[in-house]
Structure 1
Amino acid sequence: MLTTSDLPAQNDFSIGDLKISPSRRLVEGPAGKHNVEPIFMRVFLRLLAAEGQVVTRRELFEECWGGASVGDDSLNRAIAGVRQIARAVGSTAIELETIPRTGYVLRRNITEAGPHGPGAPMEEAAAAALDCWRIGLPVADLDAIRALDRALAEEPGDARGWGLKALLLRKAVEYAKPDQSAELLQACEAAIRRALSINPAQSDALSARAGVMPMFGDWKAARGRLLGVLELDPGHVPARHDLAMLEMMTGRPSAARPIIAELIEADPLAATFYYKRMYHLWNFGEVEELERVAMRALQLWPRHPGIWLARYWTLLFTGRGGQALRLVDDERMRPPLPQPMVDLLHGVAAVQERPVSDEECERLAERASAMVARGPAIAVAALMALLSLGDTRRALDLAYAYYLGRGSAATPIWTGPEDARVSDQFRRITQFLFLPCAQDLRALPEFAGLCRDLGFSAYWEATGLTPDFCDEARRLPARRDGQSAA
C-alpha cells in the first residue's frame, strides 16, 4: 500500500510530454502546471504500476485506502482526478479506460513528441537518467530506462545514451525482483557492448561494466576495474563513487572520505552522497559536522531510506538514544520499513532511555539474532542492534550467517516481503564492520578469521593497503559520544 507519507520518497519521472513529481504532487505539461491531491496521486501511481493491466475497484479500495470504509463516491472522485492529471496540462500522454463492472486501465500514449518522446533531445533523457542515479533510491527505474530507449530510437549512434542506459540497468540488476534480474543483466551487457562499439572509451558504459559484478569477495579485481575507468576519465562521478564504496567496504573510510566530500562539493543536491558522508563523519568523531550534514540531508530528503537509517544509527551510537527513539516512532517521517524491523529499532533505542534488566536485553538480543533469515536489510539492522547491546559474540555469529551463509540460519540473497528496501543493502555490504560501533567486535580474536574468510586479508596483502583500524594514525573513535579515544 502506497500512503501519502510515501510520496516524498518517489522519483520524479516523465511519460511523453507529461512530467510527474509525486513528492511535490505536481504535474507539468505543454499547457503549464497542475497540483494533484494526495489520494489522486496515489491512485494514479497504482494504476501506472499495473503496466497496462486492469486494476479492479476492489484493489484500488484496498491498496489506496487501506481497506478503510469509503464509498463509491470517493473512488469516482479520485478517478476523475486521475483523468484531470493530463488534461489539465494539455497532455495526451496517458489515457484512462473504464472497464465496466470491473475496474480501470491506464495506458501510455508514447507516439507524440515530447521531452522524453520520439524526436526529443537526448539531453532530456540523459538528465533524467542521471537524476535517477543521483537520488540513489533502492528501486529499478524502468521509466528512466524507457525514456532513454525512446531517445535512442531517434539517435541510435549516441554512445553516451547507451552508456547511461547500461548504468541504470546495472542499478536495476541490483534492485529488481529475482525473476527479472537475469533479463536485466543481459540488457545491461547489450547496452555496454553497443556503447563501447561506438566509443571504446565511453565512461558510463565502462563504469557499468566495472560495477555490474558484485564487489563482495572480488575486492582486488573490482578495484582494478574501477581504477581502469578512472585512468581514462579521472572525473567520472559514478566510478569515483563506487571506488569510495569499495574503500569503505574494505576498511578504509579515510580513503573514501575525501572522494565523497569532493563529490558533494561538486553536486550538493545528490542524495546518494549524503549518507556516506554521515558515516565518514561518525568514523572520525566529528559529531558537530555530522549533525549539520544530517539535518541538511533530512530537510532535503526526509524519507530517503539510506539517509534516514544513517541518521538513526549515528544518533544511537553517539549517545543520543532518545533522539533515535523519537525518530523511529515518527511514522510520518519514517521510510517504509517492515514492522519487525521497526520494533527492533525501537527496542534498542529504548534501552538507552530507561533502565532495563539483563533478561530484557537477552530477549532483545535473541530477537535480533532470529532476524538473520528474514532478508539482507533486516540482517544488517540486527547486526547493528547486537553491537548496540554489546553482544559481540552473537554479532560475530550473525556476521558469518549474513556474509557467508554459515551457522544454523543464513541470510537469503534477495529481499522478500518481510525485508526492507534500503540503499546499498543487497550486495552484502561490509562497511559496518569498520564503524566505531564494531570496535569490540574487531577486538575479538576471531575477527581475524572473519577478515580472512571475507577475502580482506588477501586483498590487503596483495594491494599493500592497510585498513584504518590497523593504522594507529587513523584509529577510529572508541567512545559512544563520538569523540576520539585519544
Structure 2
Amino acid sequence: MEGRIDLAHQAPFRLGALEVRPALRQLARDDGSEEVLEPRVMQVLVALARADGAIVSRDDLTRSCWEGRVVGEDAINRVISRLRRAAEGIGQGAFRIETITKVGYRLLREGQTGTPAPAPDSPLAQARAEAHRLRLDRRAMLAGSGLAAVSVGGGLLAWRHFGAVSGPAGEQKPPADIAPLMIQAQMAMTQGTVEGGNQAIGLLRRVVTLRPDYADGWGLLALSYSAAAVGRPQQYEADMRARAAEARRRALALDPANAYARAADGLGRPVLGNWLAAERGLRTSLSSHPGNDMLVSSLAGLMINVGRCTEAASLIDGIWKRVPPNPGLAYTHVQTLWAAGRLDEADKAMDDAVALFSTHFAVWFTRFYLLMYTGRVREAIALGENRGARPTGIPEWNFEQVLIVARAMLSRAPRDIDAAVAASLEGARRGAGFAENGMQFLSALGQVDKAFAVADAYYFARGFDPGELRFSTEQGTYTRRNARRTHMLFLPSTAAMRADPRFAKLAQEIGLERYWRESGTVPDYRRG
C-alpha cells in the first residue's frame, strides 16, 4: 500500500460514467451532476480505487488516510457508509464497496464480481463452510428490522410493514456458495439505516449475479430496492422502483409464491390511511403462516401506528423471545413496552439494549427520551452531556437541541421553556424526523397549541412544510408525505395532545377515525 494520500496531487480518474476529481473532492457524472465529498471520504475512495480491486485492510486505510493515527472502527465505518451512499446515489451503481469480513474492503466497478472462488483458508471460504453446516434461520436474522421505522431514531421507514423477513416453513435454504452473502445482507437490513440498506443491495446484487436462478435472492433484492424507493431522496425514487419491479418480476417468475417479492409489492402502496387493508392482508397471511416473523413484526408495527400499543407490545414480546437481538428489535421492544404502559419491563429491556448496542444512534436516543419522559430528567441530561458515550455521526447541535428540552423539563423556568419551544420549532422546520420529535417535546412541555401546529405542518404542510428529509443530510433518511408516521401520537410523550379535543379532528383528517370505525376497534387511550 502506498503512503499518505495527498488529494492535491491525485490525478482525476473514472469509475464508469463517474469522473472522480480528488483535488476538487468532486464526483461528476457525464450528465453534468456533481457531488462534493468530505476530504477523508475522498482519500478512502482514492485508496480503494488505486488498489484496483485488491483488498485494502483497515490498517492500510489508517496509514494512507489517517496518517497512521489510531482511529476507532466507527470512524472508518462512517467513511465507508458515506462512500456507499455516493455509489448508490450519484454513482448509480458505477462502483460498490465490498466488505471482506475481518480483513478489509475492496472497490468493485460495475459488472465486476471479484474472485469467484476464495482460497480455502480465507475468511469467506470459512464462512461458506460454516453456512453449509448451519441452517440459515431468516427469522433470527431479520426480526426487528420491520419496526425500525416506528422508533425515535428513525431508520429505513419502508420496513414499517414488511421488514422482518422470514419465508414460509419448509422453504429451501440458500445454496452454500451464496449463504454467507444472504446472511450478511439480512443482518445489514436489521440495522435500520441507509448504510444497512446500501450494504444489503450490494450483497444481494452479488447473490443474483452468482445465482440468477435463486428466487429468494431476487425477492430480497426487490424488497431492498422498494425500501430505498421510499427512504431515499425523491430523485432516486423512480429508478429504485424500476429496479424493484424488475427484481420482483424475476423472483415471481422463479417462484410465484415468493414471500419477499410479494412483500416488496406491498411497499409500492401509500402507508398513510391504508392501515385496514394492510391489517387484513397480514392477518390472512398469518392464518396460513402463523410462525412467520416477517408478518408478526409487520403487524406489530401497524398496531402501534393505529394506537393499539398493548397488542403491538405483545407481538414484539413473542419475537424477542424467539430470535437473537439486533438494534432494531431491541429499541422497538423498549418503545412498545413503554407505549403499552409496561414501564418496569421497558426499563429492563432498555438495560439489555444498552448492554448490547450502547452507541447505536436509535438505542441511545430511545434511552435518552425514556429517561426524560418518565421523570428521570437528571439522568437524561447526564447521558446527553457524556460526550464519550454518544453515538457517532450525529451533529453536535442535535444533542444540544434535546438537552435544551431536557433542561427545560427539569427547571420548568419560563426562560428555559421558551428556549426549548424555540429549539423545537426550529428543528421541526429542519426535517420530518425533527417534526415528529417536536410534537412530543412541545406536548410534554405543556405547549399543546404549538404541538398541534407542528402536527398540521407534518401531516398537511399547513403553516410550514418540514419536507421529507428526516434528520441530517449525513444520515440521509427520508419520510415521504404519503408515508408519514403516526406511532408518536400514541406514546406517553403526547398524552397532552390526546387529552385535547383537537386530537379527534387530527385523527379524523389523517384517517385514523375511519380505521377504528371500519375495523371495529378502539385505540388503547380510549379504553380508560
Tell me how far apart the structure 1 counterparts of residues 325 and 247 of structure 2 sit (CA, whole Å). 28
- Structure 1, residues 291-337: CA drift from partner, whole Å, max 9, x if none? 22112111211222222222111111110001111222222332333
What is the DSSP-based 3-state SS (H/G/I as helix, E as strand, rest coil) of the residue aligned with 2:190? helix
Q: 1:416 to 1:281 in 2, by over 3 A?
A: closer
Is 2:464 the counterpart of 1:409?
yes
Q: 2:525 aligns with which of 463, 469, 474?
A: 469
Q: Counterparts of 1:26 and 1:390 in 2: how far apart (Å)?
A: 54
Describe the shift of the 1:109–1:163 C-alpha distance in structure 2 as closer, same or farther (beyond 3 A): closer
Find the residue that maps to 1:337 and give its secondary structure. Answer: coil
Deviation of 1:212 after TM superposition, in Å, equals 4.0
**Which residue of the partner structure matches residue 133 of structure 1?**
189
2: CA distance, partners of 1:52 / 1:276: 25
Give the C-alpha shift of residue 143 in structure 1: 3.2
Give secondary structure in 2 for the equivalent of 1:437: helix
Q: Is 1:346 equivalent to 2:346 in the alignment? A: no
| Cross-structure match for 1:156 | 212
Q: What is the letter of the counterpart of residue 253 of structure 1?
A: C
Equivalent residues in 2 for 1:441-452, closer than 5 Å: 441-452=497-508
Counterparts of 1:264-275 in structure 2 under 5 Å? 264-275=320-331
Aligned match of 2:71: 38
Q: Kindly indicate whether the alpha-carbon contact (under 8 Å) linking 2:248 and 2:261 is maintained by their aligned counterparts in 1.
A: yes
Secondary structure of the residue aligned to 1:157 is: coil
Contact 1:220 1:463 in 2 (8 A): yes
TM alignment of 1:367-446, pairs within 5 A: 367-406=423-462, 408-415=463-470, 417=472, 427-446=483-502
Residue 192 of structure 1 aligns with an amino acid whose one-letter code is R
| Deviation at residue 409 of structure 1 after TM alignment | 0.9
From the superposition, tell whether residues 155 and 432 of structure 1 become closer, same or farther in structure 2 (CA, over 3 Å): same
CA distance in 2, matches of 1:250, 1:370: 28
TM-score (norm 1): 0.73
* Cα deviations by residue, 1:177-228 (Å, 9 ceiling, x for unpaired): 3322221122112222221222122112222222343422222222234334
1:113 has 2:168 as partner: no
Hey, what does 1:320 align to over in structure 2? 376
Q: 1:375·1:419 contact (CA, 8 Å) conserved in 2?
A: no
User: Of residues 404, 411, 420 in structure 2, which corresponds to 1:364?
Assistant: 420
Structure 1 contact 125–147 (Cα < 8 Å) conserved = yes
Query: 8 Å contact 1:125–1:144 — kept in the other structure?
Result: no
How far the C-alpha of 1:431 sits from its partner, in A, is: 0.8
Partner letter of residue 381 of structure 1? N
**Alignment coverage as a number of residue pairs:** 407
Could you say which residue in structure 2 is the equivalent of 1:68?
A: none
1:244 is displaced (CA, Å) by: 0.9
CA 1:410 to 1:448, structure 2 compared with 1: closer, same or farther past 3 Å? same
Q: Which residue of 2 aligns with 1:57?
A: none
Letter in 2 for 1:341: N
CA positional deviation for 1:419: 8.2
Report the alpha carbon displacement of residue 121 of structure 1 after superposing the two structures with TM.
Answer: 1.6
For 1:52 and 1:325, locate their aligned partners in 2 and report how far apart those are by CA, in whole Å: 33
Cα separation, partners in 2 of 1:166 and 1:18, compared to 1, 3 Å: farther
Instruction: Provide closer, same or farther for how the CA distance between residues 174 and 303 of structure 1 changes in structure 2, counting only shifts above 3 A.
Output: farther
TM-score, normalization by structure 2 = 0.68
Which among 47, 69, 94 is matched to residue 106 of structure 2? 94
Q: Where in structure 1 are there 5+ consecutive unaligned residues?
A: 4-14, 28-35, 55-84, 97-104, 473-486
Alignment of 1:3-402 (within 5 A): 37-38=70-71, 42=75, 46=79, 50=83, 94=106, 110-114=114-118, 115=124, 121-139=177-195, 141-335=197-391, 336-353=393-410, 355-402=411-458
User: How far did residue 386 of structure 1 move?
Assistant: 0.7
Residues 137, 304 of structure 1: 8 Å contact kept: no
